Structures are given as structure tokens and as C-alpha cells.
């Protein structure tokens, strides 16, 4: 089974995806377990997620897979293992006698999880245009250590409030058929009376039957009299007997071939074929589930009905092994030979065809290395976070409890802890070198990291032009997910003058034209006309409330909302479409992206608030000292992107970093290529800022030097390589700048936490990749861990020396005091040594897994994958450093190739900001990509070709909108109906004033808003068009791709008279519905032929030209009318674009 490549990496806990800075800060809350070494002075290749970290990330105890891949191995504890520590003796005074006293009836117990899941992943660089070789790839592994035990799952099952989940890679215990994913049953037919007659049922392949006479009028058709063995499928059942069915079978579907007028009555004829799949007079397709002989689809045994249920014995290669079948009659061929009623059944079933699963670990406490890895996707449930108590976190258990048989304390008493790693056993530096060499050849669209270099300057928004007051209505006219959004204002005002001028007091008994109390007008917009005096009065009245409103803003026609006879006024509403304003999206978060009213006064700008003209002179308050690489996706999720006009490619992002004084500075940068100095778009494959280090120190050396660093007795020249790398990072931290201007930063918890709290040092830590031996690898004798034994003795002597030094400094000379202090060191040493031996044998040894998995791991089925290293060494990567650095989530993109091929690429996950947008990219003959435009799309009811009708009745209750005086080219009126029909009225070139009805069909279609113009010129690629005086500026997404391809092919500038309106209608045309066709004004004959050929190449297969024009190749002349005398009509071939799911 091919492994799914990594398309994105996510953090393993938390429902919401956050930015890297947030994850680093959350990890700084952990009590211990930092990368690349912990507070205990030992190497630590992963990160710890404990309760304090979870508090920052939403307290979600579910654990999810970080990326697409396949599960290699796992281990689940039945009940957590535990360590019982020796009792603590205390010294008590009794007169002048010192004696040892034991604590009362408790024992100190620590519980810990050895449960883990190991997932293998394939990380591969995208294909580079013009490079024939397969892109570089590398095998990654993710580890999820210290998972919940089976006892914890059982407790969750007892809790009615908890819907316990189970990992899908555990042993599959049972399931039933998913009726939505059943197979269409195929077999050999039984017909009522031979050829062409009704199919009574299907005999499944392999069934054995008995026959009688041949049909007297249809040679080759024999009457079936018995099913000796096998299954008959009808429209209502699967059965092993004929019952009351009588009919005929075709002799060539059987073996041996029956002959003569009467078949051999003692012969079992076996069904060989399964070439029919319908039953009954209505040719019904019967659904069932296929059963296979082995864990593949090479040999199908039979079908079972949708009622089938299964007891299963695990899964392999996407197939579950059947142990027992229920819910239906079981065919003999699925029963094991010589088995009674309780004997197991046989066969395999596709896991994808099942539902209602139950899972259970294959075994407890032991490592399960899967014979065939099981596919897993990014975000899939892996397990629950377990618990892991350190010695000092012990629980006091009553002595009278049998410690050896004690289950364990409740989850609430145990500290939650998860250990996560990301690593590779391959040559990561070589992979980085290869991908770096290719990275600059990636198109800009695949560079989703923002590199903010040292000396970049951050820009601030211009001063706001004023405030918009509470109560104003706003209508969004730009992307609502951006930081700054463009809006129109909607005003709701009261006019006493209009009420008086129109003598509405006399109509207080009701006027259906004004008060909208008639059923036929209740759902329709009623408009009134304001005079210049009315506008003047309104502008003056609301000058203080809405100072931005001017008399000229108020349109002549406004919506009548209400007539209020009590206040002698009318309430009106109108939107000022001619003016727009910019506001901050967070200021209208209460609207959740929907048009509505302001609930508070907010600042506004007339013009887009950001400009390179505002680039300030360099100062310490705006100049970057610490470079940053920030994923564009995370900025998008945090609404820290601002775009004035997407067609310009000018994108602003908000950056937080540090200046030379190590103070946080924030501001905006423009990421358009070459727009701003020291700002670049790069990709993961540039590996910007990443550093690789090979750590050669042994466990003992590492332990000694970390602890010597903390006691300030180690010179930097004696640091190990990874210590030197961390020293370089921590000297950039805020804590170091405040507390230790000159000395070496100690690798204490305080400094490790501070390094994660500041975004630039956290990024540096995250970019540190270290090769070392896994803590989960050791030989049988625990040789590397035994080094600590002798170091404890050395530590004792060091502590004694420090104690004596301290006693001397304080001039403490009394022998009994000095002896007591030194004896306490001895006592603590003995305690530490005792606990270490317990930890080594009872915690470290049972937690190991690397050697066993590496020795048992099967050979990968995918050549690009590799197994674990035999020596336990790997390159360890900080998991957070990879988050958000791949392209997904993305945007659906049309790739238009110079040879006429068009592909629609659909990413696995679509970015929130691009859910209703399509991107169009042209690929020239030199392999260069040209990003042409991004267009909004929406769905509407598919429309049938327009037909001429009489004028709609204005009082028709099915009308929901009746618009007059439209200024949309030839279109003057538009009527919308409840069922989605649209009628349009206007001037037709031949038929003059007419109504056309565009009837709504059942399915929805997609419509895109075409750019008002495209004027793209780059690298000899010219794509240009503009519109004539038309509002038909919408089309289908596919035709737009073809149109762009044809424009690029010719390099000609075209004028188009449009395609369709927003809801798929297209007055005055009949056949432009749904944007399937586009019209273009004629060029000279030579260029026209060139363009027609290009349109034909890019899938416009129906083109019409005028009857007064020459005959063009690849086009037909319209001799029925003069409609095409001014323009070329081109219709796109539906279904000609290939969709590719990424």
C-alpha cells in the first residue's frame, strides 16, 4: 500500500491550530522535559506536554497524529507499571539519643506509562518544473510516548459523559457493513423464460447447481432445479436455496458445459461468470459486501448481504480477517472444514466497507510491531495522553494495600504527561543540501514562509481618518479574514420632512404602496424617491452622528423600512456604494463575517492604511535585529494579513520580533517580491536558520558537563557540541541580558523556559537539529545508563567539597556540625543511588522499544522509505519547528499549460481565506509559472437556456425580487422567483424589447467573478483583456481557465462582451447560461483566425461567427441570424478539465 506523503504537520494536541510562537510559549510552561536536554542533565530528544502546557492549549487530552503516514508499532499497558520506593527514615531526638523512626502506614509509589505509538512518514519536496528526476525524499518518524493504559480506557467507557475513542490501528475486533459503501453484487443470471426475459436472481460465482431440461425454444438455456452449494441473490435476499424460484440459466456460464435436451441430473454445474449486476423488472442493482480469500482483492470468494456483521481478528493491508460472521446465512465456502456450529469462519473483508468498529490492543504490555503498517492521516486519533510520575511526584499508598496487585490511583491524582519526538535515521544534512539547491526554483506560490532578515524595517499603519459611530450598518466588500477589510456603509435614517411633504398623516389608515402591509408586497423591497431638499435635511440632521455622510452620498431611490405615524416620520435605508472605507476586522468580530450593525464606535480609513511610502527611517524601535521565518498560514489563521487588491500581488503581514535591545517590536512588512528590502518569501526547503549538530558525548559525559555548567565550574571550551549551540542561543535571551551580562548562561529550567518564551530564541532552539542516540535505545546490559552509577559517586564527592567550602566560608568549625552536614550528603547520596537503581531497572528498561522494533520491522513496501537504525542513532527535530511550513492548507488552482492541457488541483485542505476562491496559473513553454489572478466563486442554481416569455405578473406570490431601471447593458429589468427562476427584460439586437426566462434546474453550478481586466505581461507571456459596456462579468470556472490559456497562446488584447450574470442568466443571450460561453469583439481576419485556433486548442469546441464574415477554420458561420455580426461566440466543452486531488 502506497504511503500518503506529508502535506502538513500539526501539533498533536488541541482542537485549534495555533502559531509556532504560541506552541513554544505553551511548552515553556512544562515542569520538565525540554529539548534538547532536560533539567536532569540528560539528553532529551523530544518535548513534554503536561497539565500546565495543556492549560494553554485547551485541555484536550486526545492525541492526534501529526502528519500522514503509517503506524509501525505500538504498546499499551494493561495497567501502568509502578515503582515502590524505599521508606524514608527520619532522625528523632529522645533526650540525648538519636534514633531512626519510620513513617506510618504508607508506601511511596510512582506510576508511569510505557505505552507508545510509532508512526513512519514520507517527506518529499514538490516536483520542480524542468527537473526530470524524482524530488528528494526522506523518511521521518513521529513518536507519541506515555499513552493512557487499558484500565484508563475502561474507566472512560464507564463514564456516560465520555464517548471513548479507540485508535484504528489496534486489533480490529468487530464491525458491520457500511450500507453507504457496499459493493454492487455481480453474478450469473436466472431468467424467467430465457434470453431477454426478467432476471429473477444472480447466482454468485463458484455456486454449484443442478439442471433439468433445455428450453424448448431457446437452445443453451437450461432449467435450474437445485442449488447444491452457493448463493442466490434476489432483490430482497441472499439465500442458499431456490425456494419458489423457477427459471433458466445460460449454459456458457457453467462448467462443465451442459449438453443435450436434458442436463445430467447427477452433475453439479459450477457457476464461472459474474458478468451481470441487475435484478428484476426495474433492473435493480443489489448491494452487498465482497469477501476475499486473502488480504487483497485478487481472489473474491463471494458476497454477503448488507446485514452481515463480523467478529474480526485484526487487519492487514486494509483488509480485516474474519473470525465469525453474523446477521445473515453463512455460505459453506466461508466455513472452515470439519467445523461445527461454533467453528470459526474464514475470509477477508475491506476495512473501508465496514463501520461500527470495536478495537482492542493485540496484546498488553508487549510491543506490537505490525506485520503490515496501517495507514494513518494527519489529525487521526492516536490515543489519550497518559501519566508519568517522577520519583518526587510519588503517591502515598496504604501499606495494607497489596502494592503488587493494586490497579492504580485515579487519573485525577496522577500527573498527565506526553513525550513527543520527530526524527529521521537517514542522512538529514545531505537531504537539506539537496533540497536547498532546488528551493529557489520553486514558484512563488509554493513559498509560504516569510523571511524577515536583520535590518528589515517594520511599517506602522497611517493615522485613522475618523470614527464610525455605533449603529451604522456595514457591508463587506473584501476578504473578511484579513486584518484590514473594505466596507460600504448602510444608513438607517428617519425623515420627518418626507412624511410631511407627502402628507402621509392622511394615509394613516394604511396604504399598500407605502406601508407594505399587503401580502403581495410583504417580502418585496418598497422604494421611495427623495428630493434634493430631503437629502439636504438628512445630511444636516445627522451631521454630528455620521459626519462622513454628505448630501451627495444619499441616492434618489431609498428603501422604505417603516412609516411611523406616532413620530410623524418615515424610516429609510440605503447603502452608499460609491464610497468605501477600511476598518480593522477585529473591531467587527461580533458580526462573525456577516453584514450587520456596529455595536461601538470604531476608527476608519478612506484609503488602505498601509503603504511603502510610510517606510520610516531606521531606528531601534522599527529595525529588526533578530531574523524571523514565519509561516504565512499561521499569519492567515491569526488574521495578521492585509491585502488592498489581490490582483496586484501586494500582501502585508504583521510581524513580531526583537530589536538590538532585545525588546519586542511589532509592525507590517510587504511580502511582494522585491517590494521591500530584507523581506523574502521562502519555503521549508530553504531550511532557513536550521543548524545540524552531531553530539558525540556519551550519556555520562553529557550528564557531568550539564551539571558542571549549572555549578559554574565548566569552561565553554569544554562544552559538548550541542551545549555550544544552546549557549549561543541562550545568550540572546531576555533573561541573560537582564541577569548575566558576562557569565555563561546555565542550562537550568529558568533559562530553558525563557528561551521558549521569546519568539526569536524559541525559533533558534526549534531550528537546532541534533544527531544522538535515542533514549529509547540501549543494549540488554543498559551499558550507557550504567555510566551514571559511577557519576553518582563523583557527584557525592563534588557535593562534599562544596559543602566544606560553604562551611569554611561561614567559619563553621564545630566537628559535630561539620560531621552532621557531611553525613547528610552521604545519606542523600545513598538515597539517590538507591532510587537511581530502581529507576534504571524498573522504569528505563521496561520503557525501551527501539531495538525490538528495529529488529522486527518488516521491509518497507515503498522504496523511498527506510527502517529504524540498528544503532539507535537519529537526527532529532523539534516538532514545533515543522508546523505550518508546508504548503497545505492551500487554494484550489487551475493550472493552464501551454500545450492546451488544463488541470484543476484540489489541495487536501483548503485555507479558510481561500474557501470561495480559485487561483489561475499559466505554465509557459519554458516551464515558468505565471500567477494570473485569484477569483471569487459562488454557487447558484443551474439555468436552462433562456426562452422568450410574456411579462411576469407583478403580484405573483412566487416573486421574491422585482428590479427595474437596471443599468446592465441591454438588461433593464430582472425578476427573481422563489424556485430560482430568473426573468430578464431588455433590448434584444433582433427581437427588440423582450422578456427571457432562465428556468432553474435541480443541481447547483459554480460561477466565478471575472477580473474587470487582466493586463499581465512577463517573460514574453502576454495575457490581456478588458470588458465592453457589459455587466455580464461572471463565467464558469473552467471556461475562464480556457479563456486565459487562449489569451496567453495569442498574446492578443481582446475585448469581451461578457459571459453571464452572477446567478447564471445572460440577457440578451439565450445560450450563455451558467457562464458556459464567452463573446469577444472581432479582430482583423488574421488575428481572428489565430484567436479562434487558440480557443479551440483550449477546449472551446463550439464557435460561431457572423454570416457576413469569411469562413474561419474551427468555427461555424451563423446563417440563421445576424446576432454574431459584431462578436465571436465561443462555448466551452464541459468535462474537458482533469481534476487532481493533492
In tens, the pLDDT along 512-569 reads: 445 444 444 445 678 899 999 999 999 999 999 999 999 999 999 999 999 999 999 9
Average pLDDT over residues 115-127: 96
pLDDT at 733 over 50: yes
Cα distance between residue 805 and residue 176, in whole Å: 74
Average pLDDT over residues 420-449: 94
Supply the DSSP symbol for 363. Answer: S
pLDDT at 316 over 80: yes
Cα distance between residue 213 and residue 224, in whole Å: 9
Q: Which three cell numbers stand for residue 424?
A: 529521521
Sign of torsion, CA 1036 1038 1040 1042? negative
pLDDT at 10 over 50: yes
Any residues with CB less than 8 A from the CB of 823 and at least 6 apart, and which? none
Find the range with the poorest average confidence among 170-179, 494-503, 789-798, 992-1001: 789-798
Per-domain residue ranges of the chain = 20-163+364-435+869-882, 176-180+289-360, 187-276, 449-461+610-682, 466-604, 892-1141
Any residues with CB less than 8 A from the CB of 770 and at least 6 apart, and which? 36, 45, 692, 693, 694, 695, 722, 725, 875, 876
In tens, the pLDDT along 657-699 reads: 999 999 999 999 999 989 999 999 999 999 999 999 999 999 9
Average pLDDT over residues 867-877: 96
pLDDT at 888 over 70: no
pLDDT at 87 over 80: no
In tens, the pLDDT along 372-411 reads: 899 999 999 999 999 999 888 888 877 655 555 567 777 7
pLDDT category at 822 given cuts 50, 70, 90 is: confident
Whether the CB-CB separation of 930 and 922 falls below 8 Å is answered with yes
Neighbours of 772 (CB within 10 A): 25
Any residues with CB less than 8 A from the CB of 828 and at least 6 apart, and which? none
Cα distance between residue 1077 and residue 1123, in whole Å: 14
DSSP 272-339: ----B--BTTTTBPPEEEEEESSSSSS-EEEEEETT-EEEEEEEETTEEEEEEEESSPPPGGGBPTT-
pLDDT category at 57 given cuts 50, 70, 90 is: very high
User: What pLDDT is attached to residue 713?
Assistant: 76
3-state secondary structure of 232: strand
User: What pLDDT is attached to residue 1029?
Assistant: 83
In tens, the pLDDT along 765-808 reads: 999 999 999 999 999 999 999 999 888 888 888 888 888 888 88
Residue 1087 or 968, more confident: 1087
User: What pLDDT is attached to residue 524?
Assistant: 60
pLDDT at 511 over 60: no
DSSP 611-654: -GGGPPPP-TTTB-SS-EEEEHHHHHHTT-EEES-GGGT-EEEE
Supply the DSSP symbol for 598. Answer: -
User: What pLDDT is attached to residue 520?
Assistant: 47
Cα distance between residue 15 and residue 937, in whole Å: 29
Average pLDDT, the chain: 91
Nearest to 1067 by CA among 939, 936, 935, 949: 949
Any residues with CB less than 8 A from the CB of 954 and at least 6 apart, and which? 962
Whether the CB-CB separation of 273 and 312 falls below 8 Å is answered with no
Average pLDDT over residues 71-75: 97
Neighbours of 1068 (CB within 10 A): 21
In tens, the pLDDT along 1033-1042 reads: 999 999 999 9
3-state secondary structure of 1025: strand
Sign of torsion, CA 652 653 659 663? positive
Whether the CB-CB separation of 1001 and 941 falls below 8 Å is answered with yes
Q: Which three cell numbers stand for residue 1035?
A: 463565467
pLDDT at 501 over 50: yes
Strands (E), 503-610: 527-529, 557-564, 569-584, 596-597, 602-604
Residue 37 or 985, more confident: 985
Most confident of the ranges 431-440, 473-482, 521-530: 431-440
Whether the CB-CB separation of 140 and 875 falls below 8 Å is answered with no
User: What pLDDT is attached to residue 339?
Assistant: 59
Nearest to 231 by CA among 288, 297, 316, 168: 288
User: What pLDDT is attached to residue 792?
Assistant: 83
User: What pLDDT is attached to residue 911?
Assistant: 78
Neighbours of 1056 (CB within 10 A): 23
In tens, the pLDDT along 251-300 reads: 999 999 999 999 999 999 999 999 999 999 888 999 999 999 999 989 99
User: What pLDDT is attached to residue 213?
Assistant: 96
User: What pLDDT is attached to residue 482?
Assistant: 92
Average pLDDT over residues 149-166: 88
In tens, the pLDDT along 456-475 reads: 999 999 999 999 999 999 99
User: What pLDDT is attached to residue 798?
Assistant: 80
CA distances from 618 to 459, 467, 624, 652, 685 (A): 10, 31, 9, 19, 31
In tens, the pLDDT along 941-966 reads: 999 999 999 999 989 999 999 998 88
Residue with cell 540501549: 778
Q: What are phi and psi of 451, to 5 degrees?
A: -95, 115
Cα distance between residue 389 and residue 83, in whole Å: 10
In tens, the pLDDT along 334-349 reads: 988 765 667 789 999 9
**Cis, bond preceding 109 (omega within 30 deg of 0):** no
User: What pLDDT is attached to residue 406?
Assistant: 62
Q: Which three cell numbers stand for residue 445?
A: 506560490
DSSP 708-723: HHHTT---GGG--HHH
pLDDT at 424 over 60: yes
Average pLDDT over residues 862-873: 88
Separation of first and last alpha carbons in the chain = 17
Cα distance between residue 461 and residue 609, in whole Å: 5
CA distances from 610 to 23, 644, 668 (A): 29, 9, 8
Average pLDDT over residues 1001-1010: 96
Sign of torsion, CA 200 202 207 211? positive
Average pLDDT over residues 625-631: 95
Q: Which three cell numbers stand for residue 706?
A: 550539564
pLDDT category at 650 given cuts 50, 70, 90 is: confident
Amino acid at each position: 500500500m502506497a504511503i500518503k506523503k506529508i502535506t502538513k504537520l500539526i501539533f498533536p494536541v488541541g482542537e485549534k491550530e495555533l502559531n509556532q510562537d504560541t506552541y513554544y510559549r505553551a511548552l515553556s510552561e512544562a515542569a520538565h522535559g525540554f529539548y534538547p536536554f532536560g533539567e536532569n542533565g540528560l539528553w532529551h530528544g523530544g518535548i513534554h506536554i503536561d497539565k500546565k502546557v495543556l492549560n494553554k492549549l485547551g485541555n484536550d487530552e486526545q492525541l492526534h497524529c501529526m502528519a500522514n503516514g503509517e503506524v509501525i508499532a505500538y504498546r499499551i499497558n494493561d495497567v501502568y507499571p509502578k515503582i515502590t520506593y524505599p521508606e524514608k527514615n527520619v532522625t528523632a531526638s529522645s533526650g540525648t539519643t538519636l534514633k531512626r523512626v519510620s513513617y506510618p502506614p504508607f508506601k511511596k509509589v510512582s506510576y508511569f506509562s510505557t505505552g507508545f505509538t510509532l508512526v513512519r512518514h514520507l517527506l518529499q519536496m514538490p516536483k520542480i518544473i524542468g527537473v526530470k528526476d524524482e524530488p528528494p525524499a526522506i523518511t521521518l518518524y513521529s513518536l507519541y510516548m506515555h499513552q493512557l493504559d487499558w484500565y484508563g480506557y475502561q474507566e472512560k467507557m464507564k463514564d456516560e459523559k465520555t464517548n471513548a475513542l479507540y485508535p484504528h490501528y489496534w486489533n480490529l475486533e468487530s464491525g458491520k457493513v457500511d450500507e453507504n459503501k457496499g459493493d454492487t453484487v455481480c453474478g450469473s443470471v436466472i431468467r424467467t423464460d430465457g434470453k431477454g426475459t426478467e432476471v429473477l436472481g444472480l447466482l454468485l460465482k463458484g455456486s454449484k447447481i443442478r439442471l433439468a431440461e433445455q428450453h424448448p425454444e431457446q437452445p443453451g438455456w437450461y432449467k435450474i432445479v437445485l442449488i447444491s452449494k452457493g448463493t442466490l441473490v434476489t432483490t430482497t435476499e441472499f439465500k442458499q436455496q431456490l425456494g419458489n424460484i423457477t427459471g433458466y440459466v445460460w449454459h456458457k456460464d457453467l462448467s462443465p458445459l451442459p449438453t443435450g435436451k436434458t442436463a445430467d441430473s447427477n452433475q453439479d454445474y459450477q457457476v464461472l461468470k459474474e458478468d451481470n449486476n441487475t435484478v428484476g423488472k426495474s433492473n435493480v442493482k443489489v448491494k452487498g459486501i465482497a469477501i476475499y480469500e486473502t488480504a487483497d482483492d485478487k481472489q473474491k470468494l463471494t458476497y454477503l448481504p448488507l446485514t452481515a456483521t463480523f467478529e474480526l481478528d485484526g487487519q492487514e493491508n486494509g483488509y480485516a480477517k474474519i473470525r465469525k460472521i453474523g446477521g445473515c446465512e453463512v455460505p459453506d465456502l466461508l466455513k472452515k472444514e470439519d467445523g461445527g456450529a461454533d467453528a470459526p469462519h474464514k475470509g477477508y473483508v475491506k476495512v473501508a466497507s465496514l463501520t461500527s468498529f470495536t478495537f482492542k490492543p493485540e496484546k498488553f504490555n508487549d510491543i506490537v510491531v505490525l506485520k503490515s503498517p496501517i495507514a494513518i492521516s494527519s489529525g487521526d486519533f492516536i490515543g489519550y495522553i497518559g501519566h508519568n510520575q517522577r520519583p518526587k511526584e510519588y503517591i502515598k499508598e496504604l501499606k495494607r494495600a497489596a502494592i503488587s496487585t493494586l490497579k492504580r490511583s485515579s487519573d485525577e491524582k496522577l500527573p498527565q504527561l506526553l513525550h513527543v519526538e520527530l526524527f529521521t535515521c537517514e542522512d538529514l544534512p545531505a537531504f537539506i543540501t539537496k533540497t536547498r539547491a532546488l528551493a529557489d526554483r520553486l514558484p512563488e506560490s509554493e513559498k509560504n514562509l516569510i523571511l524577515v532578515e536583520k535590518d528589515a524595517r517594520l511599517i506602522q499603519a497611517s493615522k485613522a481618518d475618523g470614527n464610525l459611530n455605533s449603529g451604522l450598518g456595514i457591508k463587506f466588500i473584501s476578504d473578511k479574514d484579513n486584518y484590514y477589510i473594505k466596507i460600504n456603509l448602510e444608513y438607517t435614517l428617519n425623515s420627518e420632512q418626507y412624511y410631511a411633504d407627502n402628507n402621509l398623516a392622511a394615509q394613516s389608515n394604511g396604504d399598500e404602496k407605502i406601508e407594505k402591509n399587503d401580502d403581495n408586497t410583504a417580502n418585496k423591497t418598497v422604494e421611495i424617491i427623495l428630493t434634493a431638499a430631503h437629502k439636504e435635511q438628512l445630511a444636516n440632521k445627522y451631521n454630528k452622528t455620521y459626519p462622513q455622510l454628505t448630501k451627495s452620498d444619499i441616492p434618489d431611490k431609498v428603501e422604505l423600512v417603516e412609516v411611523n405615524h406616532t413620530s410623524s416620520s418615515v424610516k429609510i435605508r440605503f447603502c452608499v456604494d460609491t464610497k468605501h472605507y477600511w476598518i480593522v476586522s477585529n473591531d467587527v468580530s461580533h458580526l462573525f463575517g456577516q453584514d450587520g450593525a456596529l455595536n461601538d464606535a470604531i476608527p476608519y480609513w478612506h484609503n488602505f492604511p498601509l503603504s511603502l511610502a510610510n517606510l520610516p527611517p531606521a531606528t531601534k524601535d522599527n529595525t529588526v535585529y533578530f531574523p524571523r521565518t514565519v509561516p504565512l498560514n499561521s499569519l492567515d489563521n491569526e488574521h495578521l494579513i492585509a491585502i488592498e487588491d489581490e490582483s496586484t500581488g501586494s500582501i502585508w503581514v504583521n510581524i513580531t520580533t526583537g530589536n538590538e535591545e532585545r525588546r519586542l517590536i511589532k509592525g507590517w512588512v510587504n511580502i511582494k517580491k522585491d517590494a521591500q528590502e530584507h523581506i523574502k518569501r521562502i519555503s521549508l526547503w530553504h531550511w532557513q536558520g536550521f543548524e545540524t549538530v552531531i553530539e558525540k558525548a556519551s550519556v555520562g559525559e553529557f550528564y557531568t558537563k550539564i551539571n558542571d555548567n549549572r555549578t559554574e565550574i565548566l569552561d565553554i571550551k569544554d562544552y559538548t557540541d550541542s551545549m555550544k549551540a544552546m549557549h549561543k542561543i541562550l545568550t540572546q535571551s531576555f533573561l541573560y541580558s537582564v541577569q548575566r551580562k558576562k557569565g555563561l548562561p546555565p542550562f537550568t529550567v529558568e533559562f530553558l523556559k525563557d528561551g521558549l518564551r521569546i519568539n526569536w530564541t524559541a525559533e533558534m532552539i526549534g531550528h537546532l537539529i541534533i544527531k544522538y542516540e535515542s533514549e529509547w535505545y540501549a543494549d540488554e546490559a543498559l551499558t550507557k545508563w550504567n555510566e551514571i552509577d559511577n557519576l553518582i559517586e563523583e557527584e557525592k564527592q563534588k557535593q562534599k567539597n562544596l559543602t566544606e567550602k560553604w562551611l569554611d566560608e561561614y567559619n563553621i568549625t564545630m566537628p559535630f556540625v561539620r560531621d552532621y552536614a557531611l553525613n547528610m550528603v552521604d545519606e542523600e547520596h545513598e538515597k539517590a543511588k538507591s532510587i537511581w537503581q530502581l529507576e534504571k531497572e524498573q522504569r528505563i528498561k521496561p520503557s525501551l522499544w527501539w531495538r525490538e522494533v528495529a529488529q522486527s520491522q518488516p521491509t518497507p513496501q515503498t522504496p523511498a522509505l527506510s527502517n529504524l537504525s540498528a544503532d539507535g542513532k537519529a537526527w532529532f527535530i523539534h516538532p514545533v519547528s515543522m508546523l505550518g511550513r508546508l504548503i497545505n492548507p492551500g487554494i484550489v488552482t487551475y493550472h493552464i499549460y501551454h500545450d492546451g492541457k488544463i488541470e484543476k488541483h484540489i489541495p487536501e485542505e483548503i485555507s479558510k481565506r481561500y474557501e470561495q476562491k480559485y487561483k489561475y496559473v499559466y505554465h509557459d513553454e519554458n516551464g515558468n509559472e505565471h500567477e494570473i489572478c485569484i477569483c471569487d466563486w459562488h454557487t447558484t442554481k443551474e439555468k436552462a437556456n433562456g426562452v422568450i416569455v410574456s411579462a411576469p405578473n407583478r403580484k405573483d406570490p412566487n416573486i421574491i425580487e422585482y428590479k427595474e431601471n437596471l443599468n446592465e447593458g441591454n438588461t433593464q429589468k430582472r425578476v427573481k422567483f422563489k424556485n430560482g427562476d430568473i426573468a430578464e427584460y431588455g433590448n434584444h439586437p433582433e427581437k427588440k424589447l423582450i422578456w427571457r426566462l432562465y428556468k432553474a434546474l435541480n443541481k447547483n453550478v459554480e460561477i466565478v467573478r471575472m477580473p474587470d481586466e487582466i493586463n499581465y505581461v512577463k517573460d514574453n507571456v502576454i495575457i490581456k483583456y478588458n470588458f465592453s459596456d457589459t455587466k455580464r462579468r461572471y463565467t464558469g470556472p473552467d471556461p475562464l481557465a480556457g479563456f486565459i490559456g487562449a489569451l496567453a497562446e495569442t498574446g492578443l488584447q481582446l475585448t469581451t462582451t461578457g459571459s453571464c450574470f452572477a446567478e447564471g442568466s445572460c440577457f440578451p443571450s439565450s445560450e450563455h447560461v451558467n457562464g458556459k460561453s464567452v463573446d469577444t469583439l472581432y479582430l482583423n481576419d488574421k488575428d481572428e483566425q489565430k484567436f479562434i485556433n487558440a480557443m479551440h486548442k483550449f477546449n472551446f469546441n463550439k464557435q460561431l461567427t457572423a454570416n457576413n464574415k469569411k469562413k474561419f477554420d474551427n468555427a461555424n458561420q451563423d446563417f440563421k441570424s445576424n446576432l454574431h455580426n459584431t462578436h465571436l461566440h465561443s462555448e466551452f466543452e464541459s468535462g474537458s478539465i482533469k481534476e487532481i486531488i493533492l
